[in-house]
Amino acid sequence: MHKSLTIAGSDSSGGAGIQADLKTMTVLGVYGMSAITALTAQNTTGVQSIFEVTPKFLEEELDSIFTDIFPDSVKIGMVSNADLIRVISKKLREYNAKNIVVDPVMVSTSGSKLMADGAKDTLFSELFKVADIITPNIPEAEALTGQSIKSKDDMVKVAKKIGEFFDGYILLKGGHSIDDADDLLYKNSEKIWIKGEHIENPNTHGTGCTLSSAIASYLAMGYDVPESVHLAKEFITGAISAKLDLGKGRGPLNHMWKMGSENL
Ligand SMILES: Nc1ncnc2c1ncn2[C@@H]1O[C@H](COP(=O)(O)OP(=O)(O)OP(=O)(O)O)[C@@H](O)[C@H]1O
Ligand SMILES: Cc1ncc(CO)c(N)n1
Protein backbone atom coordinates (compact mmCIF):
# COMPACT_ATOMS: atom_id res chain seq x y z
CA MET A 1 0.00 0.00 0.00
CA HIS A 2 1.42 3.39 -1.00
CA LYS A 3 0.95 6.10 1.64
CA SER A 4 0.59 9.85 1.38
CA LEU A 5 0.23 12.62 3.95
CA THR A 6 -1.67 15.87 3.55
CA ILE A 7 -0.79 18.80 5.81
CA ALA A 8 -3.61 21.28 5.22
CA GLY A 9 -6.80 22.91 6.51
CA SER A 10 -10.15 21.20 6.95
CA ASP A 11 -13.02 22.36 4.71
CA SER A 12 -16.36 21.71 6.43
CA SER A 13 -18.10 21.57 3.03
CA GLY A 14 -15.89 18.67 1.92
CA GLY A 15 -14.78 20.08 -1.44
CA ALA A 16 -11.32 21.50 -0.71
CA GLY A 17 -8.56 21.09 1.88
CA ILE A 18 -8.04 17.89 3.83
CA GLN A 19 -11.34 16.42 2.66
CA ALA A 20 -10.53 16.87 -1.06
CA ASP A 21 -7.05 15.47 -0.45
CA LEU A 22 -8.20 12.32 1.35
CA LYS A 23 -10.94 11.67 -1.24
CA THR A 24 -8.41 12.04 -4.05
CA MET A 25 -5.84 9.76 -2.41
CA THR A 26 -8.51 7.16 -1.68
CA VAL A 27 -9.97 6.98 -5.19
CA LEU A 28 -6.44 6.78 -6.61
CA GLY A 29 -5.77 3.77 -4.35
CA VAL A 30 -3.35 5.45 -1.95
CA TYR A 31 -3.58 5.30 1.87
CA GLY A 32 -4.17 8.91 3.00
CA MET A 33 -3.14 10.49 6.31
CA SER A 34 -3.69 14.05 7.54
CA ALA A 35 -2.11 16.66 9.79
CA ILE A 36 -4.68 19.44 10.15
CA THR A 37 -3.34 23.02 10.34
CA ALA A 38 -6.71 24.75 10.81
CA LEU A 39 -10.43 24.09 10.87
CA THR A 40 -12.48 26.26 8.54
CA ALA A 41 -16.21 26.87 8.74
CA GLN A 42 -16.68 27.04 5.00
CA ASN A 43 -19.14 26.28 2.25
CA THR A 44 -19.48 26.85 -1.49
CA THR A 45 -20.25 30.56 -0.95
CA GLY A 46 -17.17 31.41 1.14
CA VAL A 47 -15.14 30.94 4.31
CA GLN A 48 -17.08 32.02 7.40
CA SER A 49 -14.49 31.31 10.10
CA ILE A 50 -10.97 29.90 10.68
CA PHE A 51 -9.70 28.20 13.83
CA GLU A 52 -5.94 27.51 13.71
CA VAL A 53 -4.25 24.69 15.61
CA THR A 54 -1.29 25.65 17.81
CA PRO A 55 2.25 25.07 16.53
CA LYS A 56 2.73 22.57 19.39
CA PHE A 57 -0.31 20.54 18.35
CA LEU A 58 0.80 20.48 14.70
CA GLU A 59 4.20 19.25 15.87
CA GLU A 60 2.48 16.47 17.82
CA GLU A 61 0.40 15.45 14.79
CA LEU A 62 3.52 15.23 12.64
CA ASP A 63 5.44 13.26 15.28
CA SER A 64 2.54 10.79 15.60
CA ILE A 65 2.50 10.24 11.84
CA PHE A 66 6.21 10.09 11.07
CA THR A 67 7.13 7.82 13.99
CA ASP A 68 4.58 5.22 12.88
CA ILE A 69 3.31 5.06 9.28
CA PHE A 70 5.98 6.81 7.20
CA PRO A 71 4.43 8.53 4.13
CA ASP A 72 5.83 7.99 0.61
CA SER A 73 4.84 11.55 -0.27
CA VAL A 74 3.63 14.72 1.42
CA LYS A 75 1.29 17.43 0.17
CA ILE A 76 1.12 20.79 1.94
CA GLY A 77 -1.89 23.04 1.42
CA MET A 78 -3.37 25.80 3.58
CA VAL A 79 -0.95 26.88 6.32
CA SER A 80 -2.24 30.17 7.66
CA ASN A 81 0.66 31.58 9.66
CA ALA A 82 4.46 31.71 9.81
CA ASP A 83 4.85 29.72 13.05
CA LEU A 84 2.95 26.76 11.58
CA ILE A 85 5.05 26.96 8.40
CA ARG A 86 8.25 26.81 10.50
CA VAL A 87 7.03 23.71 12.37
CA ILE A 88 6.31 21.90 9.10
CA SER A 89 9.69 22.75 7.62
CA LYS A 90 11.50 21.67 10.81
CA LYS A 91 9.65 18.35 11.06
CA LEU A 92 9.94 17.44 7.37
CA ARG A 93 13.71 17.94 7.62
CA GLU A 94 13.97 16.08 10.92
CA TYR A 95 12.20 13.03 9.46
CA ASN A 96 13.83 13.36 6.03
CA ALA A 97 10.44 13.33 4.30
CA LYS A 98 10.44 12.62 0.53
CA ASN A 99 8.35 13.68 -2.48
CA ILE A 100 7.07 16.99 -1.13
CA VAL A 101 4.39 18.96 -3.00
CA VAL A 102 3.73 22.52 -1.81
CA ASP A 103 0.51 24.21 -2.91
CA PRO A 104 1.03 27.82 -1.78
CA VAL A 105 -2.61 28.41 -0.83
CA MET A 106 -3.23 32.11 -0.15
CA VAL A 107 -6.81 32.84 -1.18
CA SER A 108 -9.80 30.48 -1.64
CA THR A 109 -11.72 30.14 -4.95
CA SER A 110 -14.44 32.25 -3.33
CA GLY A 111 -11.92 35.05 -2.56
CA SER A 112 -11.32 34.56 1.18
CA LYS A 113 -7.84 35.07 2.61
CA LEU A 114 -6.37 31.81 3.90
CA MET A 115 -2.85 32.99 4.81
CA ALA A 116 -1.69 35.85 7.05
CA ASP A 117 -0.01 38.74 5.19
CA GLY A 118 3.42 38.30 6.75
CA ALA A 119 3.59 34.54 6.12
CA LYS A 120 4.55 34.72 2.43
CA ASP A 121 8.24 35.34 3.16
CA THR A 122 8.36 32.37 5.54
CA LEU A 123 6.76 30.22 2.86
CA PHE A 124 9.66 31.18 0.55
CA SER A 125 12.42 30.82 3.06
CA GLU A 126 11.20 27.69 4.85
CA LEU A 127 8.78 25.57 2.84
CA PHE A 128 10.09 26.09 -0.68
CA LYS A 129 13.47 24.81 0.52
CA VAL A 130 12.05 21.37 1.24
CA ALA A 131 9.67 21.15 -1.75
CA ASP A 132 10.22 18.99 -4.84
CA ILE A 133 7.38 20.76 -6.64
CA ILE A 134 5.34 23.90 -5.95
CA THR A 135 1.96 24.51 -7.60
CA PRO A 136 1.02 28.23 -7.61
CA ASN A 137 -2.03 29.43 -9.52
CA ILE A 138 -1.80 32.72 -11.42
CA PRO A 139 -2.70 35.09 -8.53
CA GLU A 140 -0.32 33.20 -6.22
CA ALA A 141 2.53 33.38 -8.77
CA GLU A 142 1.83 37.11 -9.13
CA ALA A 143 1.96 37.54 -5.34
CA LEU A 144 5.21 35.58 -5.14
CA THR A 145 6.99 37.68 -7.79
CA GLY A 146 5.14 41.01 -7.89
CA GLN A 147 4.73 40.57 -11.69
CA SER A 148 1.39 40.38 -13.47
CA ILE A 149 0.35 37.54 -15.78
CA LYS A 150 -1.90 38.26 -18.76
CA SER A 151 -0.65 35.72 -21.31
CA LYS A 152 1.26 32.48 -21.72
CA ASP A 153 4.47 34.43 -22.38
CA ASP A 154 3.96 36.09 -19.00
CA MET A 155 3.53 32.64 -17.43
CA VAL A 156 6.96 31.64 -18.77
CA LYS A 157 8.55 34.90 -17.54
CA VAL A 158 7.08 34.52 -14.07
CA ALA A 159 8.06 30.83 -13.84
CA LYS A 160 11.64 31.86 -14.73
CA LYS A 161 11.55 34.51 -12.01
CA ILE A 162 10.36 31.97 -9.42
CA GLY A 163 13.12 29.66 -10.70
CA GLU A 164 15.68 32.25 -9.53
CA PHE A 165 14.91 31.41 -5.91
CA PHE A 166 13.44 27.89 -6.16
CA ASP A 167 15.29 25.05 -7.86
CA GLY A 168 12.59 22.34 -7.87
CA TYR A 169 9.69 21.93 -10.31
CA ILE A 170 7.25 24.84 -10.66
CA LEU A 171 3.76 23.99 -11.90
CA LEU A 172 2.20 27.32 -12.83
CA LYS A 173 -1.51 26.62 -13.32
CA GLY A 174 -3.32 28.42 -16.14
CA GLY A 175 -6.68 27.27 -14.84
CA HIS A 176 -9.51 29.71 -14.63
CA SER A 177 -7.41 32.83 -15.24
CA ILE A 178 -6.23 32.33 -18.87
CA ASP A 179 -8.66 31.28 -21.68
CA ASP A 180 -7.50 27.67 -21.92
CA ALA A 181 -6.44 25.40 -19.08
CA ASP A 182 -2.81 24.81 -20.08
CA ASP A 183 -0.44 24.61 -17.12
CA LEU A 184 3.32 25.21 -17.31
CA LEU A 185 5.76 22.79 -15.68
CA TYR A 186 9.13 24.52 -15.40
CA LYS A 187 12.52 23.53 -14.04
CA ASN A 188 16.05 24.79 -14.83
CA SER A 189 14.88 26.55 -18.02
CA GLU A 190 13.05 23.41 -19.21
CA LYS A 191 9.40 24.08 -20.11
CA ILE A 192 6.73 21.42 -20.41
CA TRP A 193 3.22 22.59 -21.29
CA ILE A 194 0.59 20.37 -19.68
CA LYS A 195 -2.28 20.79 -22.08
CA GLY A 196 -5.88 21.19 -20.96
CA GLU A 197 -9.17 22.25 -22.50
CA HIS A 198 -11.14 24.92 -20.65
CA ILE A 199 -14.31 23.28 -19.31
CA GLU A 200 -17.37 25.50 -18.91
CA ASN A 201 -18.19 24.80 -15.28
CA PRO A 202 -18.59 27.37 -12.49
CA ASN A 203 -18.07 24.64 -9.90
CA THR A 204 -14.31 24.71 -9.31
CA HIS A 205 -14.13 24.71 -5.51
CA GLY A 206 -11.03 22.76 -4.50
CA THR A 207 -9.41 22.30 -7.93
CA GLY A 208 -5.96 23.28 -6.65
CA CYS A 209 -6.16 21.00 -3.60
CA THR A 210 -7.35 18.10 -5.74
CA LEU A 211 -4.59 18.56 -8.33
CA SER A 212 -1.79 18.78 -5.75
CA SER A 213 -2.99 15.76 -3.78
CA ALA A 214 -3.31 13.77 -7.03
CA ILE A 215 0.32 14.70 -7.82
CA ALA A 216 1.32 13.54 -4.31
CA SER A 217 -0.62 10.28 -4.81
CA TYR A 218 1.18 9.46 -8.06
CA LEU A 219 4.56 10.41 -6.54
CA ALA A 220 3.79 7.97 -3.70
CA MET A 221 3.19 5.25 -6.32
CA GLY A 222 6.69 5.85 -7.69
CA TYR A 223 6.04 8.01 -10.78
CA ASP A 224 8.47 10.87 -11.35
CA VAL A 225 7.34 14.50 -11.17
CA PRO A 226 6.46 15.10 -14.88
CA GLU A 227 4.59 11.75 -15.07
CA SER A 228 2.73 12.50 -11.83
CA VAL A 229 1.72 15.94 -13.10
CA HIS A 230 0.39 14.51 -16.40
CA LEU A 231 -1.60 11.81 -14.59
CA ALA A 232 -2.92 14.31 -12.01
CA LYS A 233 -4.02 16.66 -14.81
CA GLU A 234 -6.04 13.79 -16.33
CA PHE A 235 -7.65 13.20 -12.93
CA ILE A 236 -8.58 16.86 -12.31
CA THR A 237 -9.92 17.24 -15.86
CA GLY A 238 -12.24 14.27 -15.33
CA ALA A 239 -13.37 15.58 -11.94
CA ILE A 240 -14.27 19.03 -13.41
CA SER A 241 -15.87 17.48 -16.54
CA ALA A 242 -18.18 15.30 -14.41
CA LYS A 243 -20.11 18.54 -13.68
CA LEU A 244 -21.33 17.89 -10.17
CA ASP A 245 -23.63 20.70 -9.09
CA LEU A 246 -23.94 21.09 -5.31
CA GLY A 247 -24.48 24.12 -3.08
CA LYS A 248 -25.43 27.75 -3.63
CA GLY A 249 -22.03 29.05 -4.74
CA ARG A 250 -18.95 27.61 -6.46
CA GLY A 251 -19.59 23.93 -5.93
CA PRO A 252 -17.17 21.04 -5.46
CA LEU A 253 -15.81 18.59 -8.05
CA ASN A 254 -16.80 14.97 -8.43
CA HIS A 255 -13.79 13.23 -6.92
CA MET A 256 -15.49 9.89 -7.53
CA TRP A 257 -15.78 10.25 -11.32
CA LYS A 258 -13.35 7.40 -11.96
CA MET A 259 -15.37 4.95 -9.85
CA GLY A 260 -18.39 4.93 -12.21
CA SER A 261 -21.83 3.85 -11.04
CA GLU A 262 -21.31 0.37 -12.58
CA ASN A 263 -18.58 -0.25 -9.97
CA LEU A 264 -20.72 0.67 -6.96
N1 LIG B 1 -12.60 25.57 -16.00
C2 LIG B 1 -11.54 24.76 -16.07
N3 LIG B 1 -11.41 23.88 -17.10
C4 LIG B 1 -10.38 23.03 -17.16
N5 LIG B 1 -9.39 22.97 -16.25
C6 LIG B 1 -9.45 23.82 -15.22
C7 LIG B 1 -10.51 24.76 -15.06
N8 LIG B 1 -10.31 25.46 -13.91
C9 LIG B 1 -9.16 24.98 -13.38
N10 LIG B 1 -8.63 24.01 -14.16
C11 LIG B 1 -7.43 23.22 -13.91
O12 LIG B 1 -7.49 22.78 -12.58
C13 LIG B 1 -6.17 22.71 -12.02
C14 LIG B 1 -6.14 23.55 -10.75
O15 LIG B 1 -5.90 24.90 -11.13
P16 LIG B 1 -6.52 26.18 -10.49
O17 LIG B 1 -5.88 27.35 -11.13
O18 LIG B 1 -7.99 26.08 -10.51
O19 LIG B 1 -6.04 26.00 -9.02
P20 LIG B 1 -6.34 26.89 -7.77
O21 LIG B 1 -6.78 28.23 -8.21
O22 LIG B 1 -5.14 26.77 -6.91
O23 LIG B 1 -7.54 26.13 -7.10
P24 LIG B 1 -8.36 26.51 -5.76
O25 LIG B 1 -9.64 27.02 -6.28
O26 LIG B 1 -8.50 25.20 -5.08
O27 LIG B 1 -7.55 27.52 -5.01
C28 LIG B 1 -5.22 23.19 -13.11
O29 LIG B 1 -4.73 22.08 -13.82
C30 LIG B 1 -6.13 24.04 -13.98
O31 LIG B 1 -5.64 24.17 -15.28
C1 LIG C 1 -9.17 24.41 3.84
C2 LIG C 1 -8.98 24.97 2.47
N3 LIG C 1 -7.80 24.80 1.85
C4 LIG C 1 -7.61 25.29 0.60
C5 LIG C 1 -8.62 25.97 -0.05
C6 LIG C 1 -8.35 26.53 -1.44
O7 LIG C 1 -9.31 26.28 -2.32
C8 LIG C 1 -9.85 26.13 0.64
N9 LIG C 1 -10.89 26.78 0.08
N10 LIG C 1 -10.00 25.61 1.89
Residue ranges covered by each domain of the chain: 3-242
> Which distant-in-sequence residues (6+ apart) come within 8 Å of 234 by Cβ?
none
Fold of 3-242: UDP-N-acetylmuramoyl-L-alanine:D-glutamate ligase (3.40.1190)
In DSSP terms, 6 is beta-bridged to 34, 75
Which ligand sits nearest to residue 211's alpha carbon? 1
CA of 75 to the centre of ligand 2 (A): 13
173 is catalytic: yes
Pocket around ligand 1: residues whose beta carbon is below 6 Å from it?
16, 109, 137, 173-176, 181, 183, 196, 198-199, 201, 204, 206-209, 211, 233, 236, 240
- Which helix H or strand E contains 141, and what residues bound it? helix 138-145
CA of 190 to the centre of ligand 1 (A): 22
Confidence band of 70 (pLDDT split at 50, 70, 90): very high
Whole-structure pTM value? 0.97
Judge if ipTM > 0.90: yes
Q: Which tens digits make up the pLDDT trace of 110-133?
A: 778 899 888 988 998 899 999 999
Q: Which tens digits make up the pLDDT trace of 217-229?
A: 999 999 999 999 9
CA of 229 to the centre of ligand 1 (A): 13
State the average pLDDT over residues 158-170: 96
208 is catalytic: yes
In DSSP terms, 102 is beta-bridged to 76, 134
